[in-house]
Each structure stands twice: as structure tokens, then as C-alpha cells.
Amino acid sequence: MRINENYLNVKESYLFSEIARKVNDYAEKNPDKKIIRMGIGDVTLPLAPVVVEAIHKAADEMGVKETFRGYGPEQGYDFLREKIVAYYKENTIRIDINEVFISDGAKSDVGNITDLFDKDNLVLVPDPVYPVYVDTNIMNGRKIEYMQAKASNGFCPLPEPGVKADIIYLCSPNNPTGAVYSYDQLKAWVDYALKNDAIILFDAAYEAFIGDSKLPRSIYEVDGAKRCAIEFCSLSKTAGFTGTRCGYTIVPKDLKVQITKLKKLLKVDSDVVELNKLWLRRQTTKFNGVPYIVQRAAEAVFTPEGRAQIKENIDYYKQNAQIIADTMDEVGIKYFGGINSPYIWLECPGGMRSWEFFDYLLESINVVGTPGAGFGKNGEGYFRLTAFSDRESTIEAMERFKKLMTPAPEPQPEPEPEPKTEPAAEPAEAELVIEEPETAPEEESEE
């Protein structure tokens, strides 16, 4: 027996597990301290009343023989898929019901989708990046290239001439930087993908936070995107489903991929394959669907009443973001995001490194954030705060922050160079870096 040795190439622990471990250690040693958590983007407001009502009703149905449900369709119940089709239609995007796949959240699907792709694809991700895109591809032994997301390009990197990627991950509004791609920028990516036979995996988990009507909430707002993009959405942040678990993935039927001659000879008579069919095939084998009760809860989110109730919650978090942003302005810290996004991406003051600032905030004011370096090399020197705490905690955290930052911390001496971490080498500005797994896999892992 051999394990999938690619797993030895991922960092020992997932970023948010590492933060939780550090915070729990600190809390154990300092039981009297009131820690305010603004690290992982976990919501604090309860589910909307209309959602709770739907859960109760569905639970009652499950307790009665006539309305009890066993296995559901792996791709989700039509009652929910129809609501999602209608939601897209409001944004003038036509999606067929069979293009909608209900999931237990965007995180699972952005990882699981890699089942459809050969190991020998070049994957392009921004740096900094939501670690799931990187980890899941390292687990499969794929090569990853990093595109440079920096303040100088508004953290929205664009296609570079000469780079030939097969799979591109984009996240807008972005986790962790809060940056949002404009229509023209997304169009540049769609044009690139169509020209290079590449696929865009578009993470739209934070689309509901976009308030500016000029900014795209879906990649399908761009013509041609249905021929090159899969979109991942989530109710986690939109409707407080981080614990309830429900999301949806759109795999358009127009998304067709040319297959290799060998595979053509062996398996099929057409030389193109619809990813929609492959994904359905994958899901029917590996997934048994989201619980009926949860799908009824999700359906309630899309009713007019549900939409009004979740909007109130989103507005509440956006006001928290404003409070954080105002504090940064007051203490003179440069930041990004926080307007069409629940994340504030700030420059660590006094030239501190990300993990140093993490320890400093935890120990001096008991506030937890996420070190930017945890999202990649370009995140070094940055720090992410989320707007998902409750109002009282956000205000208190920012009061403590203001006191700590007045006067501003002294600039730190240049840090010693660190031993090699991932991503590896320091690239030149706007250069792409190829990350090779340290141990070359001898054979393709089974998926």
C-alpha cells in the first residue's frame, strides 16, 4: 500500500486550524481575557426567521410517513434549483436548471471539482489566495503558478502574455484582499480562457456583498463565460449558513472540452465532452446530496421575505466593515477592501510581519485576525480582519485597536530572511512562479 504522497507536500495544517490552535492555547493560558475573534470569516448573526421557519416545517415533514424523504437527487431538489435559476435571471443571466448543482458549500466544490481534471494541467492562482485552491491541487500533484496580486494592480491580476495556464482560479470579491474585478477585467480573463482552451474556476462566494451595481456579481455577466467558466456560490456568508452548509455550483452545458485522441479511441465517439455531464457523473457517485431540511432552508433564502431578511444581515456586516475602515483611517493604516466585501486587508503597521502582528494583537489587545502571510508570499506584511463579528465586539475591538495604535508602533528593524516556505522563491515583480511539489509523484493519484 502506498499513500498519496502529494499530501506530504501540503502545509502541515490548514491556515484556520493553525490560527484556532494558537488562539485556543492563548485562551487556555489566559482564561480571564476577553478574546474578540475577527480571524476566520465565520458569521455571528443567527439564521433569518424565514429560514428557521422553513427548517421547522421541513423537520416536521420528515417526522410524518407521508411527507418523509429519503435519498434526494444528488444534484439537489428542483424546488431550490428553480429559485437559483430565477436569482440569476434577475441579473439577466439565463441558467438552465440542469446547470445548477446544490452543494454543501463552495469550499467543498472548489476542491472536489479538481476530480474532473488531469494531473498534467497547469493551475494559475493569485498570490495571496484562499488556501483551498492551492492545497487541493497540491494534493493531486498538479503544478501551480502564482500570479502576483499586489497593491499596485489593486490585487486584481490580469492575464499575462506568454503564460499558458489550463485552470485559473479567480475569486471576486476576493478572499482575502476584498478586491473586486471590474467587468472589463473579467472580460480579459474570459477572452484569455477562450483563446487558450483554459477553464476559469470562479469563486463568487461573496457576491452578495457587492453593492456597486457597476461591478459584476457573476462571471456569466461576461459574454462567452459559459463556454469557459464554472461558478461557485455559497450561502455561508450570504445567509449565515457557515454551520448549516449549503451552496451551489453552476456548470454550464456549453462548457465543452476537447478530449485526447487516445481517450477518444478508448472510450467515446465524440471528440468533445461536456463538463456538466462529468460533474453530474462525479456527484452521483461521490455525493448523496444536501439534506432535505437544509435545502428547504436554502429555498427560503430566495423568497422575497428571505431576501429582505438576509439583506439586513449583510448590511449589518457591511456597517461593521465601515467601523473597521474608519478606525484604520483614524490611526493612519492603509487598507483595501471592506466596501463590496466583508474583509479588510490592511498593511501591518511599523513594518511588522504578518504573524508578528497577529501575536502582537492577540497578546496586547486580545483581538484575533488572519496573518496575510497565511494566504501566500504576497500577503506578508498584511493582515485580514473580518466584519462578521457582532457590532458590540467590532466596536470594542476597534476601541482597543485605536488605543494600541496611538501613538503608532515604531518601525521594526528589517527581519532576518526566513527559511523557505510556500510559495518558494521570491519572484521578480509581475513574474510568475512555478511551484513544483517537493517530492515528484511517481504515479498519478487515484481520484
Chain residues that interact with ligand MLT, rule: CB under 6 A: 40-41, 107, 175, 236
Q: Find the shortest distance in angstroms from Cβ 91 to ligand MLT.
A: 23
Cβ atoms within 10 Å, residue 230: 27
Q: Smaller CB distance to ligand MLT: residue 236 or 366?
A: 236
Contacts of 62 (CB under 8 A, 6+ apart): 68, 69, 292, 293
Q: Smaller CB distance to ligand MLT: residue 40 or 368?
A: 40
Say which DSSP state 404 is in: H
Q: Find the shortest distance in angstroms from Cβ 148 to ligand MLT.
A: 20
Of 258, 253, 188, nearest to 227 by C-alpha is: 253
Alpha-carbon dihedral 423, 428, 430, 436, rounded to 10 degrees: -30
Q: Find the shortest distance in angstroms from Cβ 130 to ligand MLT.
A: 6
Report how far residue 46's alpha carbon sits from residue 390's, in angstroms, rounded to the nearest whole number. 11
Q: Smaller CB distance to ligand MLT: residue 99 or 135?
A: 135
Q: Find the shortest distance in angstroms from Cβ 237 to ligand MLT.
A: 7
| Contact between 123 and 132 (Cβ < 8 Å) | no
| Contact between 212 and 202 (Cβ < 8 Å) | no
Place of cell 452578495: 208
Percentages of the chain per state (helix, strand, coil), in multiples of 5: 45, 15, 45
Q: Smaller CB distance to ligand MLT: residue 41 or 240?
A: 41
Say which DSSP state 334 is in: -
338: left (phi over 0), alpha (psi -120 to 50) or beta: left
Q: At what angle do helices 15-29 and 354-365 cross, to 10 degrees?
A: 30
The residue with its CB nearest to ligand MLT is 41
Instruction: Kindly calculate the radius of gyration of the chain based on its CA atoms and give it in whole angstroms.
Output: 22
Of 365, 324, 328, nearest to 349 by C-alpha is: 328
SS3 344: strand
Q: Find the shortest distance in angstroms from Cβ 378 to ligand MLT.
A: 16
Q: Find the shortest distance in angstroms from Cβ 295 to ligand MLT.
A: 20
Report how far residue 340's alpha carbon sits from residue 299's, in angstroms, rounded to the nearest whole number. 25
Q: Smaller CB distance to ligand MLT: residue 165 or 385?
A: 385
- Across the chain, which distance is largest between two alpha carbons, in Å? 71
Q: Smaller CB distance to ligand MLT: residue 210 or 405?
A: 210
Q: Smaller CB distance to ligand MLT: residue 136 or 236?
A: 236
Q: Smaller CB distance to ligand MLT: residue 41 or 141?
A: 41
Of 260, 15, 9, 11, nearest to 141 by C-alpha is: 9
C-alpha cell belonging to residue 230: 464554472
Q: Smaller CB distance to ligand MLT: residue 40 or 300?
A: 40
Q: Find the shortest distance in angstroms from Cβ 354 to ligand MLT.
A: 15
Q: Smaller CB distance to ligand MLT: residue 243 or 304?
A: 243
Q: Find the shortest distance in angstroms from Cβ 158 to ligand MLT.
A: 23
- State how far the alpha carbon of 149 is from the alpha carbons of 37, 125, 180, 355, in Å: 26, 10, 12, 20
Place of cell 463538463: 275
Report how far residue 189's alpha carbon sits from residue 199's, in angstroms, rounded to the nearest whole number. 10
Q: Find the shortest distance in angstroms from Cβ 40 to ligand MLT.
A: 4
Q: Find the shortest distance in angstroms from Cβ 394 to ligand MLT.
A: 16
Q: Smaller CB distance to ligand MLT: residue 41 or 173?
A: 41
Q: Find the shortest distance in angstroms from Cβ 142 to ligand MLT.
A: 20
Alpha helices in 287-390 (DSSP H): 292-301, 304-331, 354-365
